[in-house]
């Protein structure tokens, strides 16, 4: 045949040869391989800004009588003095009508409290807030041809082929001579995709990449002190500040006098994510979603590239040039599975999956789950896994498992591709559930 068709899974390789018995063309001695190396979703980055976790130093003092040192004119509407502006942001707050019971003569209008808050980026670490748009999905293939000479295989040609896999079928030349053509047929909408919205990453130098985190991050035009990104870099000055700082400080800084004479004062910043309170940064998306192998922001390309870890299959057609008088022969590398074991897991974040340990496995394995060990019981879930090593290996895998299925142990059966269902190997998986975080 001048065309071969086959499915290909992520990280798996297909091998084929060209045969023409009437020719001595050296192309016939070549072994051709196509590997689905990566599935990537490229998200464009819309408005972004840099922010830091602020380290805040607060100094307050109380006066029984209003003076020029502590007055509304100096602290309610004025910024810090120039000598105190070396930090990345300095703001003043003023509180009147404070308790004056400890003052020499109790003031009818109460004591006066003045505060100064100095900000600086905690540990000088900077983050970049990014807003993800809708992605384009690409498949990255590795094509390699080998020639067998002097009792060994020698690489003759290797190419990386990137093709978009949404919408209509795509066509690409495999080899540099244009003798082989690869058609990639879309397999419908992909089951996984990061939702559009705000994410962030630790800032790096231009051209490098950083893994992104997912959490509550202020949008470009928002300023919520309960979310990340309320302490930002000013692009014009290069210094960090709190947007609308004076107004924001009046809203989030709470202070009161306990004893004015002894300068006992209570001060609190009503916000999240600042040094002086305990905070935990949100997790990397790779720790949240098991289908993600990596999710990194590239500053120079203004893209977030999400690379899939598993669960993607494509249909390929390989065509040979019409002038070739012969056929394409697909070389089957048989799948194998010696044994397996595992459990059904629900982790501390309520994610459900099959934790499978494979022994002596290679190639493609098909599996199903049923509620008990009776063959007459209906199968309640089906799955497929791939082991891309050519030789048999031992491997642990996490396979998504529907949360809608009832809790409890289940029988899991698996078989290597090409085996009949009646030849499946079965094992009982116990059910384990972790407590919520």
| pLDDT band, residue 87 (cuts 50/70/90) | low
pLDDT at 106: 65
Q: Give pTM, 2 decimals.
A: 0.68
Average pLDDT rounded to a whole number, residues 124-135: 92
Q: What is the pLDDT of residue 333?
A: 55
Q: Is the pLDDT of residue 137 over 80?
A: yes
pLDDT tens, residue by residue, 402-414: 988 888 899 999 9
By C-alpha distance, which of 409, 399, 159, 115 is closest to 257? 115
- pLDDT averaged over the chain? 84
Alpha carbon distance 168, 302 (integer Å): 26
Q: What is the pLDDT of residue 324?
A: 73
Determine contact, residues 320/2, Cβ cutoff 8 Å.
yes
Q: Is the pLDDT of residue 172 over 70?
A: yes
CATH superfamily of 1-49+125-230+277-331: Cell-cell fusogen EFF/AFF, domain 1 (2.60.98.60)
pLDDT above 70 (res 25): no
Percent of the chain with pLDDT over 90: 34
Assign 14 a pLDDT band (cuts: 50, 70, 90). confident
339 or 323, greater pLDDT? 339
Which of 248, 247, 242, 298 lies closest to 53 in space, CA to CA?
Answer: 242
Task: Spell out the domain ranges in the chain.
Answer: 1-49+125-230+277-331, 54-122+238-269, 336-433
| Confidence bin at 167 (pLDDT 50/70/90) | confident
- Range of weakest confidence among 26-35, 180-189, 425-434: 26-35
State CA 159 to chain mean position distance: 28
Given pLDDT bands bounded at 50, 70 and 90, which one contains residue 41?
very high
For residue 427, pLDDT over 60 is answered with: yes
Query: So what's the architecture of 336-433 in CATH?
Result: Sandwich (2.60)
Average pLDDT in the 117-146 region?
Answer: 91
Burial (Cβ within 10 Å: 0-12, 13-18, ≥19) of residue 68: exposed
Confidence grade of residue 363 (pLDDT, cut at 50, 70, 90): confident
Distances (CA, A) of 2 to 34, 177, 180, 274, 322: 17, 17, 10, 65, 8
Q: How many CB atoms lie within 10 A of CB 136?
A: 15
- Supply φ then ψ for residue 195, to 5 degrees: -70, 150
* Higher pLDDT among residues 377 and 227, named by residue: 227
CB-based contacts of 232-239 (< 8 A; 24+ apart in sequence): 232/49, 232/50, 232/51, 233/49, 233/50, 233/51, 233/52, 233/126, 235/49, 239/88, 239/89
């Amino acid at each position: 045949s001048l065309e071969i068709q086959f499915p290909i899974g992520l990280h798996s390789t297909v091998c084929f040869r060209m045969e023409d018995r009437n020719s001595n063309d050296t192309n016939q001695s070549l072994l051709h391989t196509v590997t689905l190396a990566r599935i990537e979703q490229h998200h464009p980055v819309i408005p972004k800004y840099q922010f830091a976790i602020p380290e805040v130093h607060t100094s307050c003092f109380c006066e029984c009588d209003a003076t020029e040192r502590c007055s509304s004119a100096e602290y309610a509407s004025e910024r810090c003095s120039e000598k105190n502006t070396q930090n990345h942001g300095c703001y003043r707050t003023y509180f009147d009508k404070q308790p004056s019971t400890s003052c020499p003569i109790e003031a009818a209008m109460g004591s006066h409290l003045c505060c100064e808050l100095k900000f600086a980026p905690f540990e000088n670490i900077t983050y970049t807030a990014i807003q993800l748009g809708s992605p384009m999905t690409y498949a990255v293939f590795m094509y390699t041809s080998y020639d067998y000479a002097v009792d060994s295989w020698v690489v003759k040609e290797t190419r990386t082929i990137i093709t978009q896999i949404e919408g209509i079928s795509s066509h690409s030349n495999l080899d540099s001579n244009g003798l082989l053509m690869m058609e990639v047929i879309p397999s419908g909408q992909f089951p996984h995709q990061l939702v559009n919205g705000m994410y962030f990453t630790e800032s790096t130098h231009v051209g490098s990449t950083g893994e992104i985190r997912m959490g509550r991050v202020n949008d470009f035009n928002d300023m919520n002190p309960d979310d990340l990104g309320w302490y930002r870099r000013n692009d014009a000055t290069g210094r960090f500040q709190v947007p609308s700082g004076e107004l924001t400080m009046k809203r989030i800084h709470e202070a009161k006098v306990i004893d004015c004479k002894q300068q006992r004062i209570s001060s609190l910043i009503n916000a999240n994510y600042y040094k002086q309170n305990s905070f935990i940064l949100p997790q990397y998306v790779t720790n949240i979603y098991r289908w993600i192998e990596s999710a990194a922001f590239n500053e120079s390309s203004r893209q977030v590239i999400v690379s899939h870890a598993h669960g993607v299959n494509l249909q390929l057609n390989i065509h040979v040039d019409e002038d070739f008088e012969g056929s394409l022969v697909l070389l089957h590398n048989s799948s194998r599975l010696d044994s397996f074991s595992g459990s059904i897991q629900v982790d501390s974040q309520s994610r459900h999956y099959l934790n499978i340990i494979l022994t002596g496995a290679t190639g493609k394995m098909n599996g199903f789950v049923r509620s008990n060990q009776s063959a007459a019981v209906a199968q309640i879930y089906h799955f497929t896994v791939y082991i891309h090593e050519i030789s048999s290996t031992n491997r642990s895998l996490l396979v998504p498992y529907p949360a809608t299925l009832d809790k409890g142990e289940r029988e899991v059966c698996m078989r290597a591709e090409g085996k009949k269902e009646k030849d499946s190997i079965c094992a009982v998986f116990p059910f384990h559930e972790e407590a919520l975080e």
